[in-house]
A and B are shown apart, each in its own frame.
Chain A
Amino acid sequence: MRGLIVIPARDEERNIATVVERARACGNQEDLLVVDDGSRDGTLAEVRRLGVRYVSHPIHLGYARALHTGIRLADEEGYDYLVFMDADQQHDPAQVSALRERAFGPEPVDVVIGSRFPEGRYEGPFGRRLGMALFARLTSLLTGRRIHDTTSGFKLLTRRAFRLVREKVYGDFHAEMVVFALLAGLGVEEVGVTVARRPFGSSMYGWLSSALYPLKTILAILVLWPQARRSRALHP
Chain B
Amino acid sequence: MTGPFTLHGALVLVAIGVGGAALSLRLLARRKLTIGYAIVWTLAFLGLGLLVAVPSLLLAAGDVLGAVRPEGALRLLAVVTMLGFLLFLSIEVSVLSRRLEDLAQQLALLENALREGRRPPQDRRGSDA
- A residues engaging B (CB < 8 A)? 53-59, 61, 65, 68-69, 72-73, 76, 166-169
Contact = CB atoms under 8 A, between A and B. Distances in A.
B109 to A, nearest CB: 6
B36 interface: no
B121 A76 contact: yes
Interface residues of B, number: 15
Contacts of A73: 109, 112, 121
A76 B122 contact: yes
B121 A56 contact: no
Contacts of A57: 104-105, 108
Interface string B103-127: 0110111011000100001101001
B29 to A, nearest CB: 33
B105 A69 contact: yes
Interface in B60-85: none
B101 interface: yes
Contact of A68 (B121, B128, B129): B129
Contacts of B127: 166-167
A54 B111 CA distance: 10
A57 B105 CA distance: 6
A61 B101 contact: yes
A229 to B, nearest CB: 17
B122 A61 contact: no
Contacts of B128: 167
A54 B113 CA distance: 10
A168 B128 CA distance: 8
B122 A55 contact: no
A58 B122 CA distance: 19
Contacts of A69: 105, 108-109
B107 A58 contact: yes
Nearest to A71: B129
Contact of B109 (A53, A55, A59, A167): A55
A73 B111 CA distance: 13
Contacts of B111: 55-56
A169 B97 CA distance: 14
| Residue with the greatest number of chain A CB neighbours at <10 A, chosen from B101, B107, B108, B121 | B108
Contacts of A55: 108-109, 111-112
Contacts of A58: 104, 107-108
